[in-house]
Amino acid sequence: MNLLILALAPVVIVAAYIYFRDKYEKEPVRLLAFALLAGALTVIPIMLVESVLSGLGAGLPHYPAAAWNAFVVAAFSEETFKYIALYLLIWKSPEFNEKFDGIIYATYVSLGFAAVENILYVTGGGVGTGISRALTAVPAHAIFGITMGFFFGLARFYEKESRALKQKALLFPILLHGVYDFILFTGLAWLTLVFVAFVVFLYIIGLKRMRELSRISIYNTDYQLLNEKLSKPE
């Protein structure tokens, strides 16, 4: 039970942080729960696809194998199914009415996946694994979700650039996820410092993108309220 709590605690903390960063028009708890569930369910097809892709890369030398497993087996499979779940869940939803909503729902989908993955790793690896993943893997998955949601939220409201932005919503998380895993899969001790620097970099870009879309949402909300006030008869 303690390991289960340790595995889920960082997911709950990050989910709460993302929820309270939405300063206007909180998203329905029911839909957020569906986002977490959708992310958790992606584990099933991801495991099947990863099994096939892993077999295709069997026999590769060490570094090409590390790249294949990082960018294709893990990053491509996981981020693609997260993207599909996100798209099916909210693209046409009336609740998707702010750019920042893209970040919220994408992050919750990612956290749903991260919750199941973390339970598997922590129950098998123990307390040390739980603590290290609480500081690295779970926030990393959240930031992959923030990155996806950043471009996805923009794609919803910029029709002319929508296709390119949706492509970025998938490709950028795959790239970040692939680099993250590649550093780990190489097994090189000197890359530990690179890994720490990359995790810090992920934190920075994640917070930056959240602030950027949050400011846009606040501006749009204030502008809408002003228009409504001006349009009311005296």
Neighbours of 174 (CB within 10 A): 22
Instruction: Find out whether 130 and 6 touch, Cβ atoms under 8 Å.
Output: yes
Q: Distance (Å, rounded) from C-alpha 183 to C-alpha 123?
A: 24
Q: 125 is written with which tokens?
A: 């690896």
pTM: 0.86
Find how far residue 10's CA is from the centre of its chain.
14
Nearest C-alpha neighbor of 106 from the set 36, 47, 25: 36
Nearest C-alpha neighbor of 204 from the set 171, 164, 234, 176: 176
Q: Distance (Å, rounded) from C-alpha 84 to C-alpha 170?
A: 10
Under DSSP, the state recorded for 61 is: -
Q: 52 is written with which tokens?
A: 């096939």
Q: Distance (Å, rounded) from C-alpha 169 to C-alpha 83?
A: 8
Residue ranges of domains in the chain: 2-231
Q: Look at residue 46 in the predicted model and tell me its pLDDT.
A: 96
Q: Distance (Å, rounded) from C-alpha 68 to C-alpha 63?
A: 9
Nearest C-alpha neighbor of 78 from the set 125, 54, 36, 114: 114
Q: Look at residue 9 in the predicted model and tell me its pLDDT.
A: 92
Tell me the residue type at 190.
W
- Report residue 112: phi and psi, to 5°: -60, -45
Instruction: Find out whether 31 and 91 touch, Cβ atoms under 8 Å.
Output: no
What is the pLDDT tens value at each position of the chain, 234 positions in all? 788 899 999 999 999 988 887 777 788 999 999 999 999 999 999 999 999 999 998 889 999 999 999 999 999 999 999 999 999 999 999 999 888 899 999 999 999 999 999 999 998 888 988 998 998 889 889 989 999 999 999 999 888 899 999 999 999 999 999 988 998 898 887 777 888 888 788 778 777 777 776 666 544 544 443 344 434 444
